Structure 1
Amino acid sequence: MAELLVVEDDGEIAAELVQALTGHGYSVRHASTAEDAMCQAVARPADLILLDLGLPDADGVTVCRQLRARLPVETVIVVLTARTQEFEVIVALDAGADDYLTKPFRLTELLARLRAHLRRRAVVAGPAVMQFGALRIDTHARRAYVGQGEVHLRPKEFDLLAVLAASAGTAVRRERLMAEVWDDNWYGSTKTLDVHISALRRTLTDAGEDPGRITTLRGTGYRFETEARPANSSP
């Protein structure tokens, strides 16, 4: 049974979420403040955290960043927000969130997102181990290495890397990446894909991988190069 932590200060919304998610077979805990959320999350990590950005005692983006820094890399964070400005959502994604939902949202949409995220914690389909120069990707262990050093990737970053590497040398369309790494019924902007690709590039480059490993194909998608090329400045 997957364990969820709902971080929501509105008591009525929280009660509805806890009841609905429990009714669909999840083990659900609730925190109403950032402080309580951090204590619970660290003491007993959940599989997935639903994090409201409008908390009374701290900025939700800051809380997201702190949770990401302290929790296991496989923990999924989905932010809930009443904010409609795209840049605010992008900031949350860049702070470590894997996904977001804008209030008000439908329960069916939330449940679909949760199923997709929890499903993708499993092994990404493809070869167990892929090697490209110094870069090694182990999809069964969900680990990536550059040389002897492990590259610490967030769940969505690893999934993107695995899907792209499994089709190395060929173009992978944006629609396919969204369907395989997020969900076939994705409702939000595909800007989240660009944010995660940029983060993946930065992480690989910081670990010593050649910066041109992932090429942007404007209007199409991305290509994982079997041999790295000069850095691509596009997201």
Structure 2
Amino acid sequence: MRILVADDDPQIVRALRLTLQSVGYEIVTAADGPEAIRLAASTHPDIVMLDLGMPALDGVDVIRAVRGWSDVPILVVSGRTGSADKVEALDAGADDYVTKPFAIDELLARLRALGRRRGGIESVAVLRIGECEIDLAAKAVLRGGERVRLTPTEWRILEQLARAEGRLVTRAELLTELWGTAEVRDTGYLRIYIAQLRKKLEPDPASPTHILTEAGMGYRLVADA
């Protein structure tokens, strides 16, 4: 298995590399948050192991970014021992949490457990629709290299559609994502947001070919092949 180790402490990285390689793992390393996200997208690790206190981008933000396109198991290995830190990391999408200093035997056991659960659904980090690129890792949309400005709500809708690319996302699922409950009365706001997304992303918003309506059910995003 390939493990991405993201930690800014070179001594810890060296120790983990030697230990994990000795038991047969292939190791890729990152020294800061942005590099961790880039390598998670480009090297397709079987497990991501990361510290929370990294330069440039906090580990929790890395977890959220990776979860934008991947279900790869994530093991946090951190010196932060507070329960609030653990809860935040797990709520962001981490699968397990080990505090430093750690016992190697325990760490290896947790890696084996996560390895048995690997193989979840994973999609590409970048989707293309017409002239636009949806970058799920960077949480951005580009058209001709220029960033398309989306509101936070527009991005949340687009991200959910993109993560389910090709599959139906029901109105109830979108409403739950936006407002925390599927019971919220839909007063047309969802249709307005979808129309705004089409205006910004579709080649012909009046005849959409990528953000499609499934009558009476919800919406589907179809990316270019």
User: TM-score, normalised on structure 1?
Assistant: 0.51
Deviation at 1:149, TM superposition (A): 4.7
Q: How has the CA–CA distance of structure 1 residues 6 and 116 changed in structure 2, closer, same or farther, with 3 Å as cutoff?
A: same
Provide the identity percentage: 40
Aligned to 2:96: 99
Aligned to 1:72: 70
Question: Where do 5+ consecutive residues of structure 1 fail to align?
Answer: 124-147, 152-201, 209-235
Aligned to 1:85: 82
Aligned to 1:17: 16
User: TM-score, normalised on structure 2?
Assistant: 0.53
Distance 1:50 1:207 in 2: 33
Matching of residues 21-40 of structure 1 within 5 Å? 21-40=20-39
> What RMSD, in angstroms, separates the aligned Cα atoms of the two structures?
2.7
Structure 1 residue ranges, 4+ long, deviating more than 6 angstroms after superposition: none
Aligned to 2:47: 48
SS of equivalent to 1:101: strand
Aligned to 2:213: none
Query: Higher Cα Rg: structure 1 or 2?
Result: 2
Which amino acid letter does the alignment assign opposite residue 10 of structure 1?
A: D
SS of equivalent to 2:94: coil
- Spell out, residue by residue over 1:114-171, the C-alpha distance to the aligned partner (whole angstroms, 9 max, x if none): 0011112379xxxxxxxxxxxxxxxxxxxxxxxx8579xxxxxxxxxxxxxxxxxxxx
Distance 2:34 2:168 in 1: 34
Matching of residues 148-159 of structure 1 within 5 Å? 149=168
Deviation at 1:23, TM superposition (A): 0.6
Q: How has the CA–CA distance of structure 1 residues 149 and 31 changed in structure 2, closer, same or farther, with 3 Å as cutoff?
A: same
Which amino acid letter does the alignment assign opposite residue 87 of structure 1?
A: A
Distance 1:7 1:94 in 2: 19
Deviation at 1:38, TM superposition (A): 1.2
Aligned length: 132
